[in-house]
């Protein structure tokens, strides 16, 4: 959750602000030449930013940690990892040489120095140029695809090359692997072309690979001093926690632009990750990617094209220059990739994507469109299960004032649906939060209030240990019958607050993945310009902003939702429960789980252990005898097997055989992915069937125990 930070902090920087104000009038920017040089004005800006951020991190970050040698070591590792995540460019000797900075970054940050940042980045550029030349040489070699050898793919098993000979061998394998992937794509397209004579052939695999690495090298050389400073300071801030980041002037400007514009494009949150790949980090409910399908979280975007393959929408000039209509974007600055993907509603963008655990590229064609707020709104439907009527509400996010001031909100929409359910004598409710990534904290509290009487919904602790209880203050309930909250690993932040409160109050059951996402922290956006230029009405944006973690959420019972999430009362088999790098605990240096004193609230008895235990037994019996669930479990096991593979064969026959096996499983995987994404209509499948059966059993058991709110 993100909030805009009030500028009460200004007084601490008043002396510095006066000095900077005098300087601001004469600010001029450095040229776009060498990436590691700064003008005198830029040096003063970065020095000022470094000192302010260092002070904010120590004074205002939730952890109240000092910027010391421990944080310096973390930051050193983060900076290296962010530059070279696959350990493909640096040599071990480079890392050994840089180790002199391991305990110096904290001191440099406090002084406003960037010696380590520019030295490391200079060496990185040198290695990128060397590896690009090496890749070009290796691409033209005659590779033997009949020998049995493997390339390590598990990041935890990778290590920096000890010398140039080892680096060459590593890159030889990397090139072989990439050629196998691209040759497989070309063969697939050739086969498809027999059926579709209008299909355009992709570039020669070797040519595409040359473009990929030359593009990466070119983009790395376009990284300027501002970008280096941003990456370096963010390496420092993310050593405190993964959500605290520095936004440079350019990044902050883009952020403000996005805040003020209508959402047009594909409706996805992008991030720059491994080897310069642009990665899908989130899919926005109601956006084009959400409604049209084809993309999923953690997909890597390798290339971008404009218009349809059949030419019905012409390519623009940039894309016409690239033959196939695709521009390789590996290594591009994130802003440039976003610029290519973003466009007017109604136009077409084509993305060449590599999905997690796949060895081939596929093309996803998306018609850009505005975010359809209706698609992200709560919607409900009534299902019959035996003699029970069960209402299901799918809630993709917690939204406020949809359609402007005084407009629709989560609470008003959910209450309207609940009123309809009551008028139809619905017996129980399933609230589906499986893909709810959060949203408005106030709406999460008010929506929880529809199911409980007055009382605390969430507790919030600041860096000074002060605890504030945020209460539902509206007496009465809109729904007093049995309820189930359906969650997954994708349920985060505000959705965890609601699920945790329902569980703590004993108001209902939580069913789904083993636990939710586990993000229990709040970030504030601190505009550094407002701090430094508090006496100027419209301060220049020269210093960017800091997104800093300042608060932590706690449930009414005192448990944090951080890292642990909300544990389900009943766990059902799902692919999302087995995915890595999704939960908060998978990130580097997350804030720790802890507790605060339990708040005072009235506990109900609608999730007693004897009831949940009996429900688990009955559910397990059904799952064990269900063909659909057994097929699902088999698919999950295959997914886990693939996920746990540490290497890939570079023998073409074995590679093709494995590729065919993966292709055969793709339709199954698409079915699984569909179940993870909410849709406009609530689909009754075997998973929801089991949830409805559990809910029906739950109602009967409660009636037998004569437990209700009435």
What are the catalytic residues?
Answer: 493, 504, 519
Sign of CA dihedral 402, 405, 411, 414: negative
For CA atoms 507, 509, 514, 516, give the dihedral sign: negative
Name the residue among 555, 562, 568, 566 with its Cα closest to residue 587. Answer: 562
3-state SS, residue 586: helix
Q: Tell me whether strands 300-306 and 348-354 are parallel, antiparallel or unpaired.
A: antiparallel
Taken as a whole, the chain contains a residue count of 710
List beta partners, residue 455. 472
Is residue 467 classed as helix, strand or coil in its secondary structure? strand
CA distances from 695 to 367, 480, 614 (A): 39, 15, 12
Q: Which of 400, 341, 339, 345 is nearest to 373 (CA)?
A: 400
What phi and psi, each to the nearest 5 degrees, are found at residue 467? -115, 130
Distance (Å, rounded) from C-alpha 554 to C-alpha 562? 8
Q: Are 437 and 492 in contact (CB under 8 A)?
A: yes
Q: Is 11 exposed, middle or buried (0-12, 13-18, 19+ CB in 10 A)?
A: exposed
> Is 50 strand, coil or helix?
helix
Find out whether 338 and 303 touch, Cβ atoms under 8 Å: no
Listing DSSP states for 163-209 in one string gives SHHHHHHHHHHHHHHHHHHHHHHHHHHHHHHHH-TTPPPPPPHHHHH
Instruction: Encode 375-408: b = buried (16+ Cβ within 10 Å), e = exposed.
Output: bbbbbbebbebeebbbbbbbbbbbbbeeeeeeeb
φ and ψ of 153, to 5 deg: -115, -15
Cα–Cα distance measured from residue 507 to residue 499, given in angstroms and rounded to the nearest whole number: 10
d(CA 644, CA 646): 6
Q: Would you say 304 and 351 are in contact if contact means Cβ atoms under 8 Å apart?
A: yes
Sign, CA torsion 96/100/102/108: negative
Question: If you search the block for the tokens 């570079």, which residue do you land on?
Answer: 650
DSSP 618-672: HHHHHHHT-HHHHHHHHHHHHHHHHHT--EEE--HHHHHHHHHHHHHHHHHHHHH
- Which residues are registered as beta bridge partners of 2? 523
**Got the DSSP string for 417-436?**
HHHHHHHTT--EEEEE-TT-
Kindly compute the dihedral angle of the four CA atoms of residues 601, 604, 609, 615, in this order, to the nearest 10 degrees. -130
State both tokens at 275.
């080897």
């Amino acid at each position: 959750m993100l909030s805009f930070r009030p500028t009460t902090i200004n007084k601490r920087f008043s002396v510095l602000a006066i000095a900077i104000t005098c300087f601001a009038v004469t600010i001029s920017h450095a040229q776009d030449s060498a990436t590691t040089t700064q003008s005198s004005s830029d040096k003063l800006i970065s020095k000022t930013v470094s000192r302010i951020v260092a002070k904010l991190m120590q004074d205002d970050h939730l952890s109240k940690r000092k910027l010391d040698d421990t944080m310096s070591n973390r930051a050193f590792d983060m900076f290296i990892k962010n530059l070279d995540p696959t350990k493909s460019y640096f040599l071990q000797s480079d890392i050994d040489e840089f180790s002199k900075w391991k305990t110096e970054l904290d001191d440099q940050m406090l002084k406003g120095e960037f010696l380590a940042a520019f030295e490391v980045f200079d060496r990185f550029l040198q290695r990128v140029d060397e590896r690009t030349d090496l890749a070009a040489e290796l691409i033209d070699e005659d590779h033997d695809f009949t020998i049995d050898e493997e390339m390590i793919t598990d990041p935890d098993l990778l290590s920096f090359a000890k010398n140039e000979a080892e680096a060459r061998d590593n890159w030889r394998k990397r090139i072989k692997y990439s050629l196998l992937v691209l040759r497989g794509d070309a063969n697939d397209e050739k086969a498809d072309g027999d059926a579709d004579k209008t299909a355009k052939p992709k570039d020669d695999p070797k040519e595409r690979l040359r473009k990929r690495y030359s593009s990466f090298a070119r983009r790395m050389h376009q990284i300027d001093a501002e970008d280096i400073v941003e990456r370096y300071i963010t390496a420092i801030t993310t050593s405190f926690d993964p959500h605290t980041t520095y936004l440079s002037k350019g990044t902050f400007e883009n952020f403000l632009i996005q805040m003020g514009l209508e959402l047009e494009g594909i409706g996805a949150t992008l991030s720059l990750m491994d080897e310069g790949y642009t990665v899908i980090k989130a899919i926005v409910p109601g956006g084009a990617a959400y409604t049209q399908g084809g993309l999923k979280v953690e997909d890597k975007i390798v290339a971008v094209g404009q218009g349809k393959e059949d030419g019905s929408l012409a390519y623009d000039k940039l894309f016409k220059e690239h033959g196939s209509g695709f521009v390789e974007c590996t290594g591009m600055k994130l802003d440039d990739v976003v610029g290519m993907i973003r466009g007017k509603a109604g136009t077409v963008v084509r993305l060449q994507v590599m999905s997690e655990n796949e060895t081939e590229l596929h093309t996803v064609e998306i018609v850009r469109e505005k975010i359809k707020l209706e698609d992200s709104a709560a919607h409900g439907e009534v299902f019959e299960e035996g003699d029970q009527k069960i209402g299901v509400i799918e809630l993709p996010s917690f939204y406020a004032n949809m359609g402007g001031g005084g407009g629709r909100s989560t609470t008003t929409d959910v209450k309207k649906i609940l009123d309809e359910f009551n008028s139809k004598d619905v017996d129980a409710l399933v609230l589906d939060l499986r893909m709810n990534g959060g949203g408005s904290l106030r709406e999460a509290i008010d929506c929880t209030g529809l199911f409980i009487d007055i009382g605390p919904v969430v507790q919030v602790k600041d860096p000074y240990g002060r605890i504030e209880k945020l209460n539902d203050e509206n007496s009465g309930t809109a729904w007093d019958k049995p309820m189930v909250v359906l969650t997954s690993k994708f349920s985060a932040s505000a959705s965890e607050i609601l699920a945790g409160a329902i569980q703590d109050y004993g108001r209902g059951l939580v069913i789904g993945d083993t636990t939710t996402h586990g993000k229990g922290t709040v970030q504030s956006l601190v505009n550094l310009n407002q701090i430094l230029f508090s006496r100027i009405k419209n301060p220049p944006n020269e210093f960017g902003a800091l997104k800093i973690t300042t608060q932590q959420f706690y449930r009414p019972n005192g448990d944090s939702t951080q890292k642990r999430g909300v544990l389900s009362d009943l766990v059902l088999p799902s692919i999302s429960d087995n995915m890595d790098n999704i939960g908060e605990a998978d990130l580097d240096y997350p804030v720790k789980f802890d507790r605060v004193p339990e708040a005072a609230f009235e506990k109900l008895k609608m999730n007693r252990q004897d009831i949940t235990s009996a429900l688990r037994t009955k559910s397990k019996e059904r799952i064990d005898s269900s063909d659909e669930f057994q097929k699902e479990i088999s698919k999950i096991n295959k997914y886990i097997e693939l996920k746990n593979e540490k290497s890939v064969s570079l023998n073409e026959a074995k590679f093709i055989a494995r590729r065919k096996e993966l292709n055969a499983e793709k339709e199954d995987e698409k079915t699984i992915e569909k179940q993870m994404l909410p849709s406009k209509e609530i689909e009754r499948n075997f998973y929801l069937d089991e949830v409805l059966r559990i809910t029906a059993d739950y109602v009967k058991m409660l009636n037998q125990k004569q437990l209700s709110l009435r």
